[in-house]
Amino acid sequence: MNLDGTLFETLGIEVLEGTKEKVVLSMPVTPTVHQPMGYLHGGASVALAESAASVGGFLNVDSEKYNVFGIEINANHIKSKRDGTIYAYATPRHVGRTTMVWEIEIKDENDQLICLSRCTVGVVAK
């Protein structure tokens, strides 16, 4: 998986842990991911959540035979944030042949819940 030149690089997302059962990503909260009022943009949280689910999906398939794509995502934005770092903790709730459902908690460096998300990932033959 090559992350160079992708949204990961643009948003400063780093993969801290990646297994079939758990994915942990980090993203700095800087003006790059702020909305105009100076707070973390909800869309940046959603991008982080879907990225975590997609990495998890990728790790659960034979990548030579299948691609994974986000199909649906929802997010509840719990707390605002101006700076620091947020972490996405993604765990699979369902891993099937054609779909997966991932639950993603986004927390800050103080373990405060920032966003709660669920993402459905489709598994598509190449």
Q: Which residues are catalytic?
A: 50
Q: How far apart are CA 34 and CA 24, in angstroms?
A: 22
CA–CA distance from 81 to each of 27, 50, 90, 103, 113 (Å)? 12, 19, 20, 21, 11
Q: How far apart are CA 20 and CA 43, in angstroms?
A: 25
Q: How far apart are CA 103 and CA 20, in angstroms?
A: 13
Q: How far apart are CA 118 and CA 54, in angstroms?
A: 12
